[in-house]
Amino acid sequence: MSKFMKTSTLAGCLLMTGVAQAHEAGDFLLRVGAALVDPDTSSGNVMLGGNGVGDGNWQVDVDSDTQLGITATYMLTDHIGVGLLGATPFSHDINAAGSIDGAGKLGETKHLPPTLTAQFYPLDSTSQFQPYVGIGINYTNFFEEKTTATLTGAVDSALGGGVIDGTALRLDDSFGIAAELGLDVKLTDRIGLNASMWWIDIDTTAKIDAIQNGQTIGTAEVDVDIDPMAYMVGLSYTF
């Protein structure tokens, strides 16, 4: 073999060993980063006994929050994976909207949004850049709901007084579809960068109980479509 052929063969071998296998069947990917949930809130009117409270146009809005996001993907094949989105609990203020816009904070809640998706990675496993899309289902669990004096005062006025023990807030959990778009960029065989986003269908009914002497004397309800966009930027590690 000529010196040129030997050199070319060695260079080719080195080149091949330097190609990072991005996502292969059997890989487990863990991604960690900052996750923002930004609701696109659409509220119905607050109803009490089948009638609108106040002027009939009392509504609510939900603000955004950023927490630690954690996602995991198991690659079933070189191109298909199963992904799970998790996070530390998100905390959201519930604010006045509609005809009472500007009245301020009415309550708050925390939630966890585990989301399971089937993911498709269209590029070859040797590509340093790995875009992907996903579709799946979300379950949102609301907990630690609280109300404010502003909300209690409004309910007390609507009921003509008697709400001496305050108010309590309950939010129904939600099931809905979720769509995902993401990009992994391999830095080494194990470590990479990730940017991803989700649209999540989250609908809930908020129930506001008026309490007197430990008893519920009335319950107002409002249907809320939260439907947030969620964004995450962070690092990935392949096992």
Separation CA 166–CA 214 (nearest Å) = 10
Closest residue by Cα to residue 210 from 59, 49, 44: 49
Separation between Cα atoms, residue 231 and residue 239, nearest integer Å = 24
Summarize the confidence of residues 45-55 as an average pLDDT.
Answer: 88
For residue 159, the model assigns a pLDDT of 78
Q: Which CATH class is domain 23-238?
A: mainly beta
Question: Distance between terminal CA atoms of the chain?
Answer: 40
Decide: 34 and 234 in contact? Cβ < 8 Å: yes
Q: Can you tell me which residue has the tokens 């809320």?
A: 224
Lowest mean per-residue pLDDT among 29-33, 36-40, 208-212 = 208-212
Ramachandran region, residue 151 (left: φ > 0; alpha: ψ -120 to 50; beta: rest) = alpha
Q: How many CB atoms lie within 10 A of CB 213?
A: 8
Please give the share of the chain, as a percent, with pLDDT higher than 90.
Answer: 75
Question: Is pLDDT at 197 greater than 60 in this prediction?
Answer: yes
What pLDDT is recorded for position 163?
A: 82
Residue indicated by tokens 């993907």? 73
Place of tokens 């930004």: 38
Rounded Cα distance between 224 and 76, Å, is 37
How far, in Å, are 44, 72, 76, 135, 190 from residue 239 at the CA level? Answer: 46, 11, 14, 24, 7
CA 90, CA 65: separation in Å to the nearest integer?
6
Q: Is the pLDDT of residue 8 over 50?
A: no
- Look-up: residue for tokens 């940017």? 195
Per residue in 93-140, pLDDT (tens digit) is 999 999 999 899 999 999 999 999 999 999 998 899 999 999 999 999
Distance CA(212)–CA(228), nearest Å, equals: 35
Q: What tokens does 97 get? A: 């909207």
Q: pTM to 2 decimals? A: 0.86
pLDDT in tens, 143-177: 999 999 999 988 888 777 778 788 999 999 999 99
Asked if the model's pLDDT at residue 37 lies above 60, the reply is yes
- Name the more confident of 234 and 18: 234
Task: Mark out the alpha helices in the chain (DSSP H runs).
Answer: 3-17, 149-158
DSSP string, 78-141: SSEEEEEEEESPEEEEEEEEETTTTS-EEEEEEEE--EEEEEE--S-TT-SEEEEEEEEEEEEE
Confidence of residue 21 (pLDDT cuts 50, 70, 90): low
Distance CA 170, CA 172 (A): 7
| Domains of the chain, residue spans | 23-238
